Structure 1
Amino acid sequence: MTTLLTVERARALRRRLSPPEARLWVRLRRRQLRGLKFRRQHPIGPYIVDFYCAEARLAVEVDGQCHDHPDRIAHDRRRTAWLREQNIRVMRLAAESVRVDLDGVLEFIAQTALERRGG
């Protein structure tokens, strides 16, 4: 269940995307990626995912170096497991990949979303 606090946190996060998230959002918004609709900083239950495509039930996470910390790794695993229970696939992308190979990242996202959508 998504709470009001989670929704408020998501709104705040939308106003301060990281540079890799902002770079990716420019190419995902307005159905620019093969007509797929993405939302940014989207609340799902108790969590907020960086980008979400509802029609494919696909969450896209852009992970910076802070995700390498043991506490963060454990949190990410719990979160991914919970989302998987909701039939949501979580795609984790390194922020560096978004920076150096945006076109490749976009192709990977598109292929995965279209496969999950069934077309």
Structure 2
Amino acid sequence: MVHTENARLLRKNQTDAERWLWQKLRNKQLLELKFRRQFPIDRYIVDFVCLELKLVIELDGSQHIAQADYDEQRRLCLEQRGFKIIRFWNNEVLGNGEGVLDAIYQLVLDSKTNV
């Protein structure tokens, strides 16, 4: 229950980068795939996930530089559950959003052909 409440709080307090990307992923806009935002998986909350493809998209700010150990444990936990993770910096999304979308699109296409 705590994870659900935390996820709701995170959805209400999105970064500009998360808000921008969510507008591009929501309502099955990317290849008719359903993405969820701030979604609990195990003891972690991921920024975006497509459960059908087991694809996690993470957006990182400067705080992630200081939490490398935490991020590594999180990565291992998600990968052990079969999730593939792609990461972008917030400033990358805000400065080159279309390039980020192209990278996600290509990864999704590759994932769909391997499902």
Place the TM-score, normalised by the shorter chain, in its bin: over 0.9
SS of equivalent residue, structure 1 residue 30:
helix
Alpha-carbon distance, 1:107 to partner: 1.2
Alignment pair present for 1:30 and 2:27: yes
Q: 1:117 aligns with which of 81, 93, 112?
A: 112
Q: Show the counterpart of 1:55.
A: 52
**Structure 1 gap ranges (5+):** none
- Relative to the length of structure 2, the TM-score reads 0.94
Displaced runs of 4+ in structure 1, greater than 4 A?
A: none
How many Å separate the matches in 1 of 2:21 and 2:69? 25
- 5 Å-filtered alignment, 1:78-89, equals 78-89=73-84
Q: Show the counterpart of 1:95.
A: 90
**Structure 2 gap ranges (5+):** none
Give aligned-pair identity as a percent: 38
- Relative to the length of structure 1, the TM-score reads 0.91
How many Å separate the matches in 2 of 1:109 and 1:37? 14
Q: 2:71 aligns with which of 76, 80, 84?
A: 76
Task: Give the letter for the 1:48 counterpart.
Answer: I
How many Å separate the matches in 2 of 1:42 and 1:112? 20
Task: Give the letter for the 2:2 counterpart.
Answer: L
Alpha-carbon distance, 1:116 to partner: 1.7
Structure having greater relative contact order (Cα 8 Å, sep ≥ 6)? 1
Q: How many residues align?
A: 114
Alpha-carbon distance, 1:36 to partner: 1.8
How many Å separate the matches in 2 of 1:113 and 1:54? 12
SS of equivalent residue, structure 2 residue 39:
strand
Alpha-carbon distance, 1:48 to partner: 0.4
